[in-house]
Amino acid sequence: MPYLKIETNKEVDGGAIQEALKRTSGFVANLLGKPDKWVMVSIDHGTPMIFGGSTEPMAYLEMKSIGLSKDECADLSKDLCDFIASEFDIPADRIYIDFHDIDGKMFGWNRGTF
């Protein structure tokens, strides 16, 4: 049940957002080795944001997944930053990522939990 939330101050064209969602979902599925059918991605774009006193392009990501290990977060950060930099033209040094390991019993789906 990986969930990636992307919040950015960049505007993304309406037609391009759907394709960006699909590419991002596939990327996350591959990155975490999980089926795409379990991956959820949201993109909030055009959000007023400031980072380091500048409103240049930036992004804040939240990555949540069952079984996310602290030991893999550094590698995940590199891969996610590279992907976001390429996909949205946002420099890696203007991206923050908040990782969360989710206890399956604390995450609901389809009238139950994982």
pTM, rounded to two decimals: 0.94
Round to whole Å and give the CA distance between 100 and 88: 23
- Give 13's pLDDT tier (boundaries 50, 70, 90): confident
Domains detected in the chain: 3-113 (3.30.429.10)
Contact 44, 12 (CB under 8 A): no
- Give 27's pLDDT tier (boundaries 50, 70, 90): very high
For the chain, give the percent of residues with pLDDT over 70. 100
- Any idea which residues carry the catalytic annotation? 2
Contact 5, 40 (CB under 8 A): no
Round to whole Å and give the CA distance between 64 and 80: 13
pLDDT for res 28: 98
* Separation of CA 99 from chain center: 10
DSSP string, 16-47: HHHHHHHHHHHHHHHHHT--GGG-EEEEE-S-
